[in-house]
Chains A and B, each alone.
Chain A
Amino acid sequence: MKKYTYTEKKDTRSGFGVGLHEAGQKNPNVVALCADLKGSLKMDAFANEFPERFIQIGIAEANMIGIAAGMTIGGKIPFTGTFANFSTGRVYDQIRQSVAYSDKNVKICASHAGLTLGEDGATHQILEDIGLMKMLPGMVVINPCDYNQTKAATLAIAEYEGPVYLRFGRPSIPVFTDPDQKFEIGKAWMVNEGTDVTIIATGHMVWKAIEAGEQLEAMGIDAEIINIHTIKPLDEEAILKSLRKTGCVVTCEEHNKFGGLGESVARLLSTELPSPQEFVAVNDSFGESGTPDELMTKYGLDTINIVEAVQKVIKRKK
């Protein structure tokens, strides 16, 4: 197992904030819109340096999406910022008609996704957003795994023409990817090559997958670990190549098992390479109040859950 270490923990939303600021320095057409969560989204650096390009919308997410769509007409590249719940479910029809169907170059940037939002509870913890966004034709869906990858993804989507959903989170988690990485939209990252099982993980679950890989190694199981940061378009080639070698897969995501990364992988495999699959995901449930760690444990999104899913799926191999 390839060794991964970290020297610090940071939140992915801060990676977004730094990436947005840098994107703004690189391209004067980048504009940022925020629905009264500038601090939470770490948009202060951008807002301070480019006040004329920062638009405070107020608590009016529908209006924010519509204004962002309109701002693309004339060449601006709008990044909208609010929590994932208010970035998607609250404004689904605005995104559908004014952004996706109208093919507008809007970047919907969503923080505090999933259970790790923590104490605010289920009203704010969306676990359905990946599904909502991936169903929209033409929408790119990205869920990076640490601070560095989120920063790189933010810079990459500024250069991509078309609607994007960028999902990140609140808690501080290990920073283990390369600070100077080149982010390729739609390209899987091979975290560790292995032969017995493929573990496919996105977002906060990638570090847990690495921890699981180390535990599995001690048990004599050689796990291949793939980071799918871009859920749509899915890197089908990388997944199929891995499954041809390992013959079984565990998918890991901080999302409802319905509509998420796991289902995208299952759809691919069912038509191209039917394989045993286990899902480490929330079991069709809302969340609740608690610390991020407590919630990840209670809802079955811990390292141990990945290990157990791997043991189960390997037994199902013919």
Chain B
Amino acid sequence: MKHTINELEDIVSQVRRDIVRMVHSCQSGHPGGSLGCAEFLTALYFETMNHSKDFNMDGAGEDLFFLSNGHISPVFYSVLARSGYFPIAELATFRKLNSRVQGHPTTHEGLPGIRIASGSLGQGMSVAIGAALTKKLNKDHSLIFSLHGDGELQEGQNWEAIMFAPHNKVDNLIATIDYNGQQIDGPVEQVLSLENLQTKFEAFGWHVITSNGNNMEDIVKSLEYAKSLTGKGKPILNLMSTQMGHGVDFMVGSHKWHGTAPNDEQLASALNQNKETLGDY
């Protein structure tokens, strides 16, 4: 391992601080899903993926990551900045005028680390498959990772992509579902039930693994296991259970914190629960 689990957890603590401070500063954004995916993004960028912080769009010879549920941009931006893609000071410009750190990720402002715009939901799996096909055509044996919300699976385009990938043996793709069970209007099971996601993906021809996205040791191991399954003819689906708002007690498990910013008092409480490990931006 490049880092110990403790070191990775320290990074996560700082990422959580970044998330709540960014969202608090502009009084908008999506803290809940961002917090829930802090371990996953940290594991990807600090442990799992082979990537260079010297960004170039094509990423030849590198593992690439695509964020489909673009509204959890705070965690993506924090992890990219903490990985060295751009200065952490820029996190202070999140959602503000003339910023590269837009409300939803975009290539349009030239922020290093972003390879596609996302935010309008349901498009990222197709994009990830496209990048995976190009890797194969280029005889580039690195991998494609992607992250999708569970509520996002209500978008039909996903199911076009989910059907395409096994048929075409896109086995250099590891897609992860942030299975937190919450969406803006309430629990996913109440808004529009996903039923049994594991058997659904398996029926489409994916190799499905499950993981606990808020347990660093488990997510690191699960991603390593997922990597060992690539190149065997099937796309890999990591069904990752998380808690929305994980790491901030009053945000945990509630859809109310999907897209709400904390006030000053709530920010102080959230910061008290997550120690400053790498220095605030």
Indicate whether A248 reaches chain B with its CB closer than 8 angstroms: no
**Per-residue B-contact encoding for A83-113, CB less than 8 Å = 1, 0 else:** 0000000000110111001111000000000
Report A184 CB to chain B, min CB distance, Å: 27
- For the residues of A in contact with B, the DSSP-based class is helix
Contact with A along B91-116 (1 / 0, CB 8 A): 00000000000000011100000011
Given A63-B126, A98-B117, A102-B108, verify A74-B161 contact (CB < 8 Å).
Answer: no
- The yes or no answer to A65 lying at the interface (CB within 8 A) is yes
Is the pair B120, A67 in contact by a Cβ cutoff of 8 Å?
Answer: no
Q: Which residue of A lies closest to B119 (CB)?
A: A97
- Across-interface contacts of B140 in A (CB, < 8 A): 74
Say how far B216's CB is from chain A's closest CB, in angstroms.
Answer: 29
In contact, A101 and B108 (Cβ under 8 angstroms): yes
Closest to A75 in B: B58
B contact residues, range: 35 or more
Are B106 and A102 touching (Cβ within 8 A)?
yes
- Name the residue on B nearest A63 (C-beta): B160
Stretch of A52-60, A201-209, A278-286 on the interface side: A52-60
Q: How far is the CB of A133 from chain B (nearest CB, A)?
A: 18
Of B78-86, B129-137, B191-199, B218-226, which stretch is located at the interface? B129-137
* A69 on the B face (CB < 8 A): yes
- Which chain A residue lies CB-closest to B157? A62
- Asked if A70 and B128 sit within 8 Å, CB to CB, the answer is yes
- Asked whether, in the complex, the Cβ of A74 is within 8 Å of the Cβ of B138, the reply is yes
Judged by a CB distance under 8 angstroms, whether A218 is at the interface is: no
CA distance A52 to B133 in the complex (A): 10
B67 at the interface (CB under 8 A from A): no
In the complex, whether A68 has a CB less than 8 A from a CB of chain B is yes
Chain A residues contacting B157 (CB-CB under 8 Å) are: 62-63, 66, 94
Q: A67-B126, A71-B131 are in contact. Are A60 and B160 (CB under 8 A)?
A: yes
Nearest-neighbour CB distance to chain A for B136, whole angstroms, equals: 9
Chain A residues with Cβ below 8 Å from B73 are: none
B128: chain A residues at CB < 8 Å are: 70
B-contacting residues, A93-142, CB 8 Å: 93-94, 96-98, 101-104
Q: Which residue of B lies closest to A33 (CB)?
A: B130
In the assembled complex, A31 has its CB within 8 A of some CB on chain B? yes
Task: Judge whether B238 is part of the interface by a CB distance below 8 angstroms.
Answer: no
A60-B108 contact given A66-B157, A73-B130, CB 8 Å threshold: no
Q: Is the CB of A73 within 8 A of B131?
A: yes
CB-nearest residue of chain A relative to B170? Answer: A67
Q: Are A70 and B106 in contact (CB under 8 A)?
A: no
What's the nearest-Cβ distance from chain A to residue B178, in Å? 19
List of B residues within 8 angstroms of A69 by Cβ: 116, 126-127, 130
Of all A-B residue pairs in the complex, the 3 with the closest CB atoms, nearest first, are A70-B130, A66-B126, A63-B160
Other contacts beyond A66-B123, A73-B115: 11, CB < 8 A: A62-B157, A67-B129, A71-B130, A73-B130, A74-B140, A94-B126, A97-B118, A98-B116, A101-B108, A102-B107, A103-B108
Interface residues of A (CB under 8 A from B): 31, 52-53, 55, 57-58, 60, 62-76, 78, 93-94, 96-98, 101-104
